[in-house]
Amino acid sequence: MRIATYNVNSITARLPRLLAWLESSGTDVLCIQETKCTAEQFPAEALREAGYESAVNATGRWNGVALLSRVGLTDVVSGLPGGPEYEGVQEPRAISATCGPLRLWSVYVPNGREVEHDHYTYKLAWLEALRKAVAADAAGTRPFAVLGDFNVAPTDEDVWDPALFAGATHVTPAERAALAALEGEGLGEVLPRPLKYDRAYTFWDYRELRFPKNKGMRIDLTFGNPAFTAAVKDSYVDREERKGKGASDHAPVVVDLDLDL
């Protein structure tokens, strides 16, 4: 069974590439972030024609998450239970569902903007709410994972130049402690193996030729419970999908599992 997480940075802009990638990669379940559309604008019919059911939590031009599955899609929970609001709104940043033998969450963690910004406080509160929300699924015997764009680089090795990020979001001790707290609920990180470079980055800014120079970050992550991590056969960043015209600024992260459908 093959699952993946992918920040598409606008599903309408990326749809032709996404459909081609789904076919070529043989992905069974895909966690999507940054749909940047309303639920009504989400291309569910085109994805259905490609063999995928959709569950989407999206409200407009920012944020938005979804789950695509060709192995079943039930017990959908849209939103983050107990999640904080930002400027009076609970943003569409989480969705979960049962997909065949798995229970999965697709999440898009707030960016944080700057350490002194209210958005950073919101980010930490959101991560704490996520920890509480996934605790029951994490403790279960069914394979469970939370995947997505966490907007946190777990270690200094996960950014191309740690000195440039000093004092900035994505690398602060508080953000990394929030990931450790998530692991404290019994979730282990699934590390992708590098396919071309020593470091398996997942995001490269469009500016300054950062992708060809491999000046990236690893912020798209997978955390699974013991039943999930025991089934992992392989994981890698599909760096090829970041290449070429019309690519997202993220690459898909693929996880292969030894599970019966």
pLDDT tens for 227-250 read 999 999 999 999 999 999 999 999
Residue with tokens 């569409």: 92
Supply the pLDDT for residue 61: 87
* Structural domain range at position 11: 2-257
pLDDT at 85: 97
CATH of residue 236's domain is: 3.60.10.10
70-114 pLDDT per residue, tens: 999 999 999 999 999 999 999 999 999 999 999 999 999 999 999
56 conformational bin, left if phi > 0, alpha if psi -120 to 50, beta if neither:
beta
pTM confidence score = 0.97
CB neighbourhood size of 249 (10 A): 18
Percent over 90 (pLDDT), the chain:
97
Query: What strands, in cross-sheet order, belong to the sheet with 188-189?
Result: 74-78, 94-99, 102-108, 144-149, 220-224, 188-189
For residue 154, the model assigns a pLDDT of: 97
Q: Is 227 helix (H, G, I), strand (E, B) or coil?
A: helix
Residues β-bridged to residue 56:
66
Q: Please report, for residues 9, 181, 222, 248, 255, the alpha-carbon distance to residue 228 in angstroms, rounded to integers and kept in the order given.
A: 27, 18, 10, 28, 10
Cα–Cα distance for residue pair 221/5, rounded to 1 Å: 8
What pLDDT is recorded for position 238? Answer: 97
| Number of structural domains in the chain | 1
